[in-house]
Amino acid sequence: MTEDVLPVLTGPVEVVGAGLIGTSIALVCRRLGLDVTLRDTSAENVRTASGLGAGRPAVPGDRPQLVVVAVPPAAIADAIVDALERTGAVVTDVGSVKAAPLEAVAARVGAPELSRYVGSHPMAGSERSGPLAASAALFDGRPWAVTPHPGAGADAVGLVEALVLECGAAPVVMDPADHDRAVARTSHLPHLAAVLVAGRLAHAPAEHLALSGQGVRDVTRVAASDPDLWRQILGSNAEAVLDLLAEVRVDLDTLMAAVESGSGDDLVEILARGNAGTAAIPGKHGGPARPTRSVFVSVPDHPGELARLFGDAGEIGVNIEDVHIDHDPGRPVGLTELVVEKGSAEHLLAALESRGWTTHR
């Protein structure tokens, strides 16, 4: 399906499940001026999302063009079946796993109803949850898998793709089972590795933990997520996850043998495969990675100093791609990292220095 023949999203859009993802989609649709109706087993979630401007409570007689199911994994199949039977709308869901819910739905509805269902999965989220964490910008530039089954109607697929594009995301059309193998590799396995590493920290001596640097923080960050949600995700993608865990178990044995025998060549081979893996991840938003360089500047830790720095960078005419502030509450000066296009770095450094900034070359 090419973009120029996509059906137009005209609404009403019904969002079932007013959590982080559902409310974020609702906010996007409201910005488009569409009528958005909200359903949630929690009346408080509906009130909160409505209060944020994400739509109105659904009432009997609503006739949605599109229903977006954004409920926890264990409730997805029931919610999809309910939406297909209750409305004549195209129905999508935003769950992390696609084959198992499809199978459950296909066993319970006829082919005409099933043709209106097209699964999808935005690669966006947060350690935070609930409608208060929602944002219309959540999906900006993110991949969003669209996973039609063979019996899905072309118009239904197109309408879901239209939603993805309106959300500012990049649709990636793939087979449901293939999607599940992909997220086992790019999401579920990384998550479980983070959990295993973090698990070894849980009862570690405080003086050991005092040596924690940025590396262990990055590796374990995702392990802070909700165990019950992840129990459901892993439970519905068990086969693909187990296949990968079995591969990792073989790699772990090889690694342990290499460390034990002191075989440098085997170790380097394993470590080099890790290098290759990080290089295989595409650029942040799916596009090619542009070469950048970091410029480090000392910035006094009080209001206005960052403003002065960015004001100077703006006058210098260099676009800042990203910023990291390494900020220590106990110290009066923070180190600010400005990420700029490689060709602009020297110019920015020299110009900032001429304005009196302390840079670190």
Residue ranges in 39-68 that form contacts with a copy of itself under rule CB under 8 A: 52
CA distance linking residue 28 with residue 60, whole number of Å: 24
Alpha-carbon distance of 334 to 300, in angstroms, equals 6
Any contact of residue 154 with a copy of itself (CB under 8 A)? no
Closest CB to a copy of itself among residues 85, 322: 322
Q: How far is CA 42 from CA 20, 102, 183, 199, 220, in A?
A: 13, 25, 29, 32, 31
Peptide bond into 12 cis (omega under 30): yes
Smallest distance, a copy of itself to C-beta of residue 328, A? 3
Give the number of residues in contact with a copy of itself, rule: CB under 8 A: 140
Q: Which of 189, 281, 174 is nearest to 233 (CA)?
A: 189
Among 8, 154, 204, 350, the residue binding a copy of itself under the rule CB under 8 A is 204
Query: 238-261 vs 176-183: helix axis angle to the nearest 10?
Result: 30
Residues 131-150 that bind a copy of itself (CB under 8 A): 132, 135-137, 140-143, 145
Q: Break the chain down into helix, strand, coil percent, rounded to 5.
A: 50, 15, 35
Query: Given the complex with a copy of itself, which of 149 and 188 has the nearer CB atom?
Result: 188
Question: What residues between 97 and 136 interact with a copy of itself by CB under 8 A?
Answer: 121, 123-125, 132, 135-136
User: Smallest gap, in angstroms, from Cβ of residue 307 to a copy of itself?
Assistant: 3
Contacts of 127 (CB under 8 A, 6+ apart): 221, 222, 224, 225
* Cβ closest to a copy of itself, residue 33 vs residue 213: 213
Separation between Cα atoms, residue 233 and residue 106, nearest integer Å: 20
Of residues 60 and 330, the one with the C-beta less far from a copy of itself:
330
x/- map, 342-361, a copy of itself, by CB under 8 A = ------------------xx
Which residues within the stretch 7-46 sit at the binding site for a copy of itself (CB under 8 A)? none
Contact (Cβ atoms closer than 8 angstroms) between residue 158 and residue 5: yes
User: Is 221 a binder of a copy of itself (CB under 8 A)?
Assistant: yes
The number of beta carbons lying within 10 Å of the beta carbon of residue 238 is 13
Residue 309, interface with a copy of itself (CB under 8 A)? Answer: yes
Least separation in angstroms between CB 322 and a copy of itself: 5
CB of 95 to a copy of itself, least distance (A): 14
DSSP state, 188? Answer: I
Q: Which is nearer to a copy of itself, 44 or 140 (CB)?
A: 140
Region of 37-45, 81-89, 158-166, 261-269 interacting with a copy of itself (CB under 8 A): 261-269
Instruction: Write the DSSP assignment of 80-116 as a string of letters.
Output: HHHHHHH-SSEEEE--S--HHHHHHHHTTS-HHHHTT
- The residue length of the chain stands at 361
Q: Name the residue among 63, 89, 69 with its Cα closest to residue 16.
A: 69
- Find the binding residues for a copy of itself in span 162-201 (CB under 8 A): 168, 172, 174, 178-179, 181-183, 185-187, 189-201
**Segment contacting a copy of itself by CB under 8 A, of 65-73, 82-90, 153-161, 294-302:** 294-302
Q: Are 53 and 167 in contact (CB under 8 A)?
A: no
Q: Whose Cβ is closer to a copy of itself: residue 62's or residue 337's? A: 337
Question: Which residue of 110, 150, 213, 356 would you call a contact of a copy of itself, by CB under 8 A?
Answer: 213
Which stretch, 9-17, 77-85, 106-114, 279-287, contacts a copy of itself (CB under 8 A)? Answer: 279-287
Q: Are 147 and 174 in contact (CB under 8 A)?
A: yes
The C-alpha atoms of residue 55 and residue 64 are separated, in whole angstroms, by 13
Q: How far is the CB of 109 from a copy of itself (least distance, A)?
A: 25
Name residues contacting a copy of itself, limited to 77-96 (CB under 8 A).
Answer: none
Residue closer to a copy of itself, measured from CB, 60 or 205 = 205
